[in-house]
Amino acid sequence: MSDPKLDAIREELPALRRGAFLNTGSFGPQPIRAHAALVTSDRADVEEGRMGHKVFERMLDSRARTRSVFAGVLGCDDSELALTHSTTSGVNIAVMGLDWQPGDRLITAQAEHPAELNPAAVLKQRRGVEVVATEIGLPGVDHVAALAAALDEGGARAVLLSHVCWTTGLVMPVRELADAAHQAGAVLIIDAAQGAGEVQVNVKDLDVDAYACSGQKWLCGPSGTGALYVRPDRMDDFQLTFAGYGAGKAARDCSTFDVTPGAARFEAITLHGPSLDALRVGLEWLQGDEVGLPWAHERIAGLGRRCHEALSALPGVTTLSPAEGIAGLVSFTVAGMEPEKVTTALEEKGFFIRHVEFPAANRISTGFYNTEDEIDAVAEAIGELAGAR
């Protein structure tokens, strides 16, 4: 039976007409209204020119409005949020902003995304930081116990982990990880590229110190957008690594430097106004009655369970993580078939997924806009691949 709400949502996402869009964990489909907002904003830049005080007023208004809407998604105050270009930029702002000393320890995990592992490697090379790569995020691991064991060694300045592991799809017990980190005197920095939009988020309840997320994935925004939440009472712990026009006010002889209050100090970048307008309009759509984030989160997880159950029943197919530990990311392997070849074979059939590394597998993202028929069809296609081996 047709669902009027889902039909309207899918009509708003024309990319879905190409095939089964099952890779929101990389890029979400963009809504028509967000694209229209981007075009309108960019046309104003072209036709009116980027000159005069009204341009600056429009730019600052766009930033403030977008920051406010994004803050509503994460459950924080506008002053606690910086707009960024990506999860990666937010992670780097937080990680590089701490006052690292040689011998300090950064605890992360082998299964983390390069957005965490690469900054960690840079700290090790440039600052002599000891990087501890745990097994957190891998199936069968007691994540809180693994973190506690690493923290027991002492000297940890920060813990850097993901809200949802990008390869296994496991949703981390972030609040418990935060409690463990804080008890040991470390700050918790979370990569939420696979978090914001996929699962319910309230950064206050999670008690994180920094939370970096993307606009282009589960939030269906443009590329080059994102946000970083910084806990207000730890704001000064994250020092400015690079400082732009809005970072503060320095005396001409640099004898004084008054830092901008709040997280806006970290927006030391040129933000693309049309993209911010598109992001804001898309987030308003997600938060409004036409979609609704609670409804979206429930549907994402429900489709994830349906996908996991279907794949787990297929001979020759192995799911990486238990169904009760995931939301919308379902990782699996096909016996005797390289993940890259599985991705290619499914794309030829009209199913757009991706493959990941460590552990090497294929990954399906079940978006709130997907249908049950699409989930059943991709499972059937994967079963056919497994049966042909």
104: number of Cβ within 10 Å: 18
Give CA torsion, residues 257, 263, 264, 268, to 10 deg. 70
DSSP 40-98: HHHHHHHHH-S-SHHHHHHHHHHHHHHHHHHHHHHT--GGGEEEES-HHHHHHHHHHHS
> 138 and 268: one domain?
yes
Per-residue pLDDT at 56 exceeds 90: no
> 197 and 324: one domain?
no
For residue 55, what pLDDT band results from cuts at 50, 70 and 90?
confident
Per-residue pLDDT at 65 exceeds 90: yes
Ramachandran angles phi, psi of 197, nearest 5°: 100, -30
> 233 and 363: one domain?
no
Q: How far, in Å, CA of 198 to CA of 217, rounded?
A: 9
For residue 180, what pLDDT band results from cuts at 50, 70 and 90?
very high
Kindly report, residue by residue over 138-167, the tens digit of the pLDDT.
Answer: 999 999 999 999 999 999 999 999 999 999
Number of structural domains in the chain: 2
Q: Which of 233, 255, 287 is the last residue of a domain?
A: 287
> 325 and 220: one domain?
no
Quote the percentage of the chain above a pLDDT of 90.
93
The domain containing residue 88 runs over which residues?
Answer: 40-287
For residue 389, what pLDDT band results from cuts at 50, 70 and 90?
low
Per-residue pLDDT at 348 exceeds 80: yes
- Across the chain, what does the average pLDDT equal? 96
Enter the pTM of the model. 0.97
pLDDT at 50: 85
Residue 223 lies in a domain: yes
Do 78 and 71 form a contact (C-beta atoms < 8 A)?
yes
Q: Which of 287, 311, 342 is the last residue of a domain?
A: 287
Quote the percentage of the chain above a pLDDT of 70.
99
Kindly report, residue by residue over 219-277, the tens digit of the pLDDT.
Answer: 999 999 999 999 999 999 999 998 988 899 999 999 999 999 999 999 977 899 999 99
Specify the CATH number for the domain of residue 356.
Answer: 3.90.1150.10
**List of residues 6+ apart from 180 with CB closer than 8 A:** 144, 147, 148, 151
> 9 and 154: one domain?
no
Residue 249 lies in a domain: yes
> 227 and 364: one domain?
no
